[in-house]
Structures are given as structure tokens and as C-alpha cells.
Structure 1
Amino acid sequence: MAVTRSPKGRGEVRPIRRLGDPVLRTECDPVRTFDAGLRRLVDDMFATMYAANGAGLAANQIGVSLQVFVYDCEDDLGRRHVGHVINPVLVAEDGDIVVEDEGCLSVPGLRFPTPRYRHAVVEGVDLDNKPLRIEGTGYFARCLQHETYHLRGGVYIDVLKGETRREAMRAIRSAGLS
């Protein structure tokens, strides 16, 4: 797949890896070098996420096995959150468990009821290696949990249980994504 320019002119749109690609199932390495290459990666991730109409994107979804994710989504109060996290650690998942439809750019076209905590806190660093603490509720908390899980080699279908998981696996096989 060819790499194209972002519609905003910043960053390159990269191909998104799909379920079945081993990079999605491998724990990502911590970022140790904070340089222009890392800034380009984050720009490319935003460009790719926006081109695919996503709310978040982990680096391994574009084939880069580094602990980085970007996001642009709202919380349960309608506040928009846009940013990135490098070397994220999910330090809190709490509150009620909410089951809502969830999808993934690496599992295109499929959505399944997925349980997530209503509140999440992620700590990491920014592009200048300065500490970040990001707290989210509602859909934003879901995004923080989803993207952090990607960097550990997980995909949202892993948290599905029972009949929902069986339905997801059938749909994935039918779509040729396994």
C-alpha cells in the first residue's frame, strides 16, 4: 500500500495493520530516543488516524513496535481530548464497568459490545520526555484503555466473553481477518 500525504499536510498516512499481523500481538518496546524521528512518527500517527476516521491509534497499528499512541475523542461530558502518550502505563481503571459497542481500525468494519471501566488514568511522557498524567471518563476512558492494551500486544476482542466472543470470532473468520 502506498504512503500518502495527510490532508492537513502534516504527517504521512501509513497503512494500518490488520488483525493477523504479528506486530499487533507483540508487546511494544519503550521509547528511548526522543528526536525528530519520534515527532515524525506521532505526526504520521495523527494523519493515519484522521484519514481512517479513528479516535485513537497505537504505533504497532502502523507496524512500529514502540510504546506510543495518539487520540482525539470526547469524554462523557462532551469535552474533546487530543494528544499523544509515550511509554504509557495504565495506572487506574475503575468505576462502573460499561458495555458499549467498540471497534478497532485493525479490525475494520466490525463492532462488538465490549466491557470497559468508566474511568481510566494513564501516565507516560510527551515528545520532550516530560511527564504526563491523563485522566478520562466515558468514551475517552475507553480509548485510553483500548490504546494502552494495543501496546501490550492486545486487541479489544481479547476482552470479550461468552456469546459475544464467539460471535466476534465468527465475524472475524467470515471477514477473512484471522
Structure 2
Amino acid sequence: MAVLQILTYPDPRLRRPCLPVGAVDAAVRQLAADMLETMYAAPGRGLAAPQVGVMLRLFVMDPDWRTGPPAPRICIDPEILDPSDATATCEEGCLSIPGVPAPVTRPAEVTLCWTGLDGIRRSERLAGIAATCAQHELDHLDGRLCIDLMDRAARAAAAPVLAALEAR
């Protein structure tokens, strides 16, 4: 396994929609293992393939590992179904946008469907930080960043840090 370089804003690859993974092979398994190692080392709760420069619909997440035992999920070709009408606002951090906490309002619960490394399709109803994390990572696969979902005041407050990242 290897710790991969995480792309940072404003790298244009972070804005590109990703392609389906399709068949799970040795390369996908290795990428997933490397992404988990990278996520834990960062340390983060989730990491999407485009954040490491791979334009495939794959993300890893372990939303509770900081407070409990590791329980990683590897989500291949994920999709979110049945978002709740109820919403929750969380301050999201992003490994690709360091130093910019993003208050984002999202559905409080979602059903996440994905393919695992064994090629089996799964689904699970998520709430709380797990729902937020899954939605955040899936946004990456669609070329959307959490800063795109911030309200005008939060975006204005983050503008100096974003400008500094853009100037690098």
C-alpha cells in the first residue's frame, strides 16, 4: 500500500465528472487500499478517487474511525437514493481544500448503493456523519465541491483562503 498525493483546489481534475469503474480487478483493489491508507494518514473520514487524480467513480470512507474502531467502506460506482426531506447542516472539511470549513446543508438521511470489492451490489440507509460523508464524497465524483454548496456569507468568509490556494 502507498500514501497517495491528494490534489488541492483549484486543480481542474477536481471539477471533472468521473467514469464508472465497471469490473473490479486487481488495479481497483490496489487503488482502494492505497486510498484508505491515504485517507487515514491525512487524516480524513473520506476520500474520492479524483482527489488522488484517478477519474473513476470510487470513494472510500470511514466516518467514525476517530471515535471507534475502523469500519472502512469502499464504494465503487456509488449512487444515492431516497434522500430524506429533513436536512442537517454540518461544517464539512475537505482534504482537497485545506483550511476551509464549509457549512453545508444536505439531506439528513440517504440510501447509499454501491458495489464492493467482491463485486456485490449493496445498499444501506445512512444518517448523521455517515450520510454527510457519503454525499460529500459522491459530490467529488460529479465534479462538485463542498464550497459550491456554501451560502453567500460562508463563501465570502472563505474567499481569502480560497484566493491563497488559487495563487499557489
Superposition TM-score, scaled by structure 2 size: 0.90
Number of residues of Structure 1 aligned to a counterpart in Structure 2:
166
Runs (4+) off by over 6 Å: none
SS at match of 1:32: coil
CA contact (8 A) 1:28 1:66 kept: yes
Correspondence 1:17-166 to 2 at 5 A: 17-74=7-64, 81-166=71-156
1:169 paired to 2:168: no
SS at match of 1:13: coil
Structure 1: stretches of 5+ with no match in the other structure? 1-10
Structure 2: stretches of 5+ with no match in the other structure? none
Identity %: 36
SS at match of 1:53: coil
- Distance between the aligned counterparts of 2:46 and 2:27, measured in 1? 20
- Distance between the aligned counterparts of 1:46 and 1:132, measured in 2? 19
Query: Which string of whole-angstrom CA distances, capped at 9 and with x for unpartnered residues, describes residues 112-162 of structure 1?
Result: 222122111111211122111122111111001000111001111111122
Query: Which string of whole-angstrom CA distances, capped at 9 and with x for unpartnered residues, describes residues 32-82 of structure 1?
Result: 2311111000000001001101000000000000000001113xxx89742
SS at match of 2:6: coil
Distance 1:177 1:138, change over 3 A: farther
Mean Cα displacement is larger for which, 63-72 or 129-138? 129-138
Aligned residue in 2 for 1:6: none
CA contact (8 A) 2:46 2:61 kept: yes
User: Shift of residue 95 of structure 1?
Assistant: 4.2
Relative contact order (C-alpha < 8 Å, sep 6+): which is higher? 2
- Distance between the aligned counterparts of 2:38 and 2:146, measured in 1? 19
Query: Which string of whole-angstrom CA distances, capped at 9 and with x for unpartnered residues, describes residues 86-119 of structure 1?
Result: 0011112214222221110000122122212211
User: Shift of residue 177 of structure 1?
Assistant: 6.3
CA contact (8 A) 2:13 2:50 kept: yes
SS at match of 2:37: helix
Query: Which string of whole-angstrom CA distances, capped at 9 and with x for unpartnered residues, describes residues 10-36 of structure 1?
Result: x21000001111111000000123111
SS at match of 1:104: coil
**RMSD, aligned α-carbons:** 2.0
